[in-house]
Structure formats: C-alpha cells, structure tokens
Chain A
Amino acid sequence: MARNDYKIIFTGPVGSGKTTAISSISDSAPVKTDTKASDMTKSRKEQTTVAMDYGVLKLNDAEQIHLYGTPGQERFDFMWDILTSGGIGLVLLVDNSRENPTNDLKFFLNAFKSFIAETSVVVGITQMDKKNNPPLDNYRIELEKMSLKNIPVFEVDARDKKDVSLLVQALLFSLEPNVNEI
C-alpha cells in the first residue's frame, strides 16, 4: 500500500524549544542532530541543532505526519525552503527571555513568508515563566502590522505535550475550521 506522508515544520530561534516540542508529541524518539555549541549560541544553550530535528506522528499504516525542526542558526537558512516543501503549516516558537523576541518573530515570519501565505502559522511563546514581558498582546500587534490576521498566539511550555498539541490543533483549525473532532 502506498503511504501518504505529510509534514509540519517547527521553527524559531536558538533555544526556543523546537527540539523539545517535537519530542513532546512524536511517536518515536526524535532524531536529533544536536552538537556542542561553539559560537554565539553557546550563551543560550550547551547543545544546538545544526541540521534538523525529526519526529513522527503515525496516524495509521498508510499515513504519517513528519515533524521537522529547522536548525535555529541563520547560517542554515538555505535548508528552510527544502524542509517546508509540501508542508501542512508552520509552528513558530519564540523564546520570550531573549533580548528582543518580537524581532525574532518578525525575522522568522519574513523568512517563511511564502510558505505561510500558502499554508498557515501558529506562534508559541516559550519561557514566559522566566520573563513575562513582552506580553502576548505585543506579538498580536506585530502580526497585525504584518497583515497576518487571526493567527493563534499561545503561551506554551515546549515540554508539555498538551501545550504543543493545542498549538498543532490550532494550526489545523486555522487552516480548516470545519474539522470534525472524533
């Protein structure tokens, strides 16, 4: 039987929780390509993703959803187009404890502009328990400025599978409100 494979892309800056988020909902232990950080990312985390993360949601024998995490470092942005090809939508994670997280938001929304235009995006703000400023409203305002309306913006803990699950659910409902919940 031919298998139908689909993709959901997780992106965001270094340390925003992409690898953790994929691990939270993946059926199998995710394939990680982390290595010891040797550049400016070292100040954010000891290990960083240099190629991509990979997890999977197996729906049945014939269908599975691949969960791809982009490398956070900008020097790997050539891979982003390859990864997004054929994707269902984008999960953008932003680390609120970074110096200027709304700039991070804008950077990644611009980088994935054409993919978002074809699909949709949800935004998960992480580390709000460490630093609760800027509040979610600031992100909503930035999205409005970029003419991205009605985008779900949630506070999430990437370690919590329910939080990550709600993000992905919101992505699906944004794309298709008439999804039947079984």
Chain B
Amino acid sequence: MKVYVLGMDERSLNMLRFFFQKFCHGQCEISNQADADVFLINMDGVNADKHLDDFNKNFSIYPLITTSIRTLDIDKHYFLRKPMVADHLLTILDEIRNKLSNVEIVSQPQVAQASVNIDTGTDTDTDTDTDTDTEEKEEEEEGIDPERQKSTGYAGQLLNEQDLIAFVGNKGDVDLTEPAQHEDLFFDMETSFLGIFHRAYLKAKQEKSIIKVTGMWRPITLFPNENKVYVDLTDRQLQAICVVTLKKDQQDAIKIEMIELPVAARECKHSNNFRDLELFMWKISLWTSRGRLPKDTPLNMLVYLKYWPNFPRLIVTPHALKITAYWLASPRTIINLADSLAIPQRYIFSLFTACYISSISGMEKRKSDTLISSTKTQDTNRQNFFSRIMNKLYSKEG
C-alpha cells in the first residue's frame, strides 16, 4: 500500500522508508499524495495539528493513521503507537486494504517482530515527499500519469484478479427470493460519491451545461456536450473515494453548480485531466457497486437495455457481453436473469449498476408476470461451435 506521510523531516522519512522495506516486506511504501492509498501523520511534529486540520478539510475521504509516542484518541482514525511495531502497522494496513477492496483477510503474512524509533522530528520545508513542488516536478519528469492515460484508450482488457475484485467484488450468490439474505445485496447511492456524481451528470445532461462539483475533494467539472469530465484525481484516488460512505455533514458540504464556459476554461487548464465521461461513469459505477445493486432496485421488475454499451472503450467485466445479449433479446427481471445464467450474480449486478448509471438500462413499470424460460433448449450445436470461436478469440486477446 502507498502511504503519504505528513509531519516528518527528511531524516525521519528515510528511517521510515527503511522500516517499511526491511520489516514490512514490501507491503507498504512511501508515496506522494497523488498516488496514496492512506495518509499517515506524525502527531509529535510541531505542525501536527495543522496537518490534521488540513487532512480533515481536504482529504478526509482517505484512511488516516496517526502515530505518536503518546496515547492519542482521535476518533475515527487509526492509531499506531511509537515505537512502531511492524505487526501493528501491517494489521492496520490490512484493515484498510480490506475496507478499500472489500476483501476478507485470507491469510496474514508472517512478519518478524520488529520495532523502530522514528525520530519525532519537527516539520521543515525540506520534507521531500510532502512538498507540492516536488510532486509537480515528479509528474513532469514521469510524463503523463499512466492511470489517466489509460482512461482514454482501450479499456476492455482482461482484468487481473486485483482489478476484478475492485470492479465486481467477491461476494457469493444469495437466494434472491429470500429478503433475509438481501442485507449485503445493495449499496446506498445517497451516501456515495457515485450518487452525487450521478445527480451532477443528470443535471448536466438535462441542462446541457457545464456542471462543477465541489466539496470534499478537488473540483470535478462535467462537460456533457463534449462527453468529457475534468478531474484532477488518479484512478487510485477515485477508487478510494468510491468505497467511502459519506456522512451527513460531508454530503451537505458538496455543491453541484452550473458554471459558464469562460470560468471552466480558466479552471480546467491541464489537458491530461480531461477524461472520457462515459468511461469515467462506468468505472465509478463498478468501483462503488463491487457486485452490489443500488438500494431499492426492484428485483422483480423487467429490466431492458436500450443499446449495447460501447464495450471496446469501457471496462468489460466477466460475461458482460452475454448478459447484455440476454437483456437485449428480451426484458427480464434480475431474478430471472440470475436464474437463467449459470454465472455469479455479482457480474450481473455490477453490469446492471453501470448500465443504470449510464442511462443505458430502464425498467418496465409493470412487474413481470411470467418468467422467461432459459434459452438452453436452442441449437446446442451452434452454441458449441460459437463457444469454440469465442475461446479462440479470447486466446488471441491474452
């Protein structure tokens, strides 16, 4: 995991870097702010309170670890007592990782007991990893952020296991006819970044005007006519934002407003920050859904798709084409489709969510009165033949 450290001088940072490498077995590393998964504040530094205030105002969507030689009780953050013990740090990072990716702990790597005294050094302007100028220089040197670069190119690549879990989760199937099993089936749009962004998207489409979203993170500006979104956040940061449940005061702080083109042109200066709006919506839908459905999605209403999603420019989740073909062939309830296809339900739920957010899917008002039977009785010779072609095409993609 990538850790952005605040409140340590260069010497302390070097010690921490050594500690991460030597005792944490490469499971964490110090990073700049743009790439961070988690923030760490040295609460013994002279500007600790300022850093904490700054974090709470601007970066509270991130997990935060505070560390000190004193016992601190800072509500809602993780605390790591000095001298740092590798096991304690790794346990905290595991908790954070699980929260981010919704992955259950399978096994805990064996880590040797180790401790290190990190100098409670004072803040100085020489903090290399926390220096904004340094970050900008690094970006210039490294060129365009590959995460952002990816957003405009082909995105339908085969997903590796880590990406797969981030996009479609790893929840098992449930009995959809049994409400008692629905507890983890849904997520709440109202308390998620996705819900806020969806509201902004609908407003932008309806008004055909530029919309700016401000509040908890860096401003995000939607250009509906150009199908672009201006966002100064990496995919890693966006993914972290998508898994956070927003509290009432955080929701209240968010503003969705129309802005004029000259204002947008002045504010949206870096061409690398423009992304394809369609792909952006698709990704944040998947990161938020992770195999779940938006709250109150009726399971027994007929779902239809208006058209094929533009898959070569989107994330192609497992069985996405098959699910799409079924829903385009005839409207079906989510329950019926899950029954008909012998695939994990989470793939259906993820694709449904992405289509719903992108306004590709709709629901018929009437409830389904008859279940559409599975198409398994069709020409099996042709099915098998097409399967062989499909298999051949998959092998060429690899």
Contacts and interface: CB of A to CB of B under 8 A. Distances in A.
Bound together: yes
Interface of A: 6, 25, 57-60, 63, 65, 135-136, 140, 150-157, 160-163, 165-170, 172-182
A181 B389 contact: no
A-side interface mostly: mixed
B377 to A, nearest CB: 9
Given A136-B310, A170-B308, A25 B389 contact: no
Interface in B361-398: 374-376, 378-379, 382-394, 396-397
B224 to A, nearest CB: 12
Contacts of A174: 325, 328
B-side interface mostly: helix
A168 B386 CA distance: 11
Contact of A163 (B312, B378, B387, B388): B312
A152 B322 contact: no
B316 to A, nearest CB: 7
B151 to A, nearest CB: 14
B215 to A, nearest CB: 31
Nearest to B374: A178
Number of chain B interface residues as a range: 35 or more
Contacts of B382: 175-176
Contacts of B15: none
Given A154-B310, A157-B154, A180-B384, A169 B321 contact: yes
Given A155-B310, A175-B386, A179-B383, A25 B322 contact: no
Contacts, number: 113
A181 to B, nearest CB: 6
B387 A165 contact: no
A64 B375 CA distance: 26
Contact of A153 (B308, B319, B376, B391): B308
A169 B154 contact: no
Given A166-B312, A167-B312, 20 more contacts: A58-B392, A59-B392, A63-B388, A65-B389, A153-B307, A153-B308, A154-B312, A154-B313, A155-B310, A161-B396, A163-B312, A165-B394, A166-B321, A168-B389, A168-B393, A169-B390, A174-B325, A177-B329, A180-B387, A182-B391
B324 interface: yes
A173 B310 contact: no
B18 interface: no
A179 B392 contact: no
A176 B394 CA distance: 17
Contact of B392 (A57, A150, A155, A163): A57
A5 to B, nearest CB: 12
A125 to B, nearest CB: 9
B157 interface: yes
A162 B156 contact: yes
B328 A150 contact: yes
Nearest to A58: B392
8 contacts: A25-B393, A153-B307, A154-B311, A165-B396, A166-B316, A174-B325, A178-B376, A179-B322
B326 interface: yes
Contacts of A181: 319, 322, 387, 390-391, 394
A155 B386 contact: no
A176 B154 contact: no
B154 A161 contact: no
B156 A166 contact: yes
Interface of B: 154, 156-157, 227, 307-308, 310-313, 316, 319, 321-322, 324-326, 328-329, 374-376, 378-379, 382-394, 396-397
Contacts of B394: 165, 181-182
A127 to B, nearest CB: 14
A110 to B, nearest CB: 21
A160 B321 CA distance: 18
Residue among B154, B310, B384, B393 with the most chain A CB within 10 A? B393
Among all A-B residue pairs, the 6 with the closest Cβ atoms? A177-B325, A173-B325, A152-B308, A150-B328, A179-B386, A163-B312
Contacts of A157: 154, 312
Residue among B319, B328, B382, B386 with the most chain A CB within 10 A? B386
Contact of A173 (B316, B322, B378): B322
A176 B378 CA distance: 9
A180 B326 CA distance: 13
Contacts of A140: 307
Given A25-B396, A60-B388, A163-B312, A178 B328 contact: no
Given A161-B396, A162-B397, A163-B154, A155 B312 contact: yes
B308 A154 contact: yes
B310 A179 contact: no
A7 B291 CA distance: 38
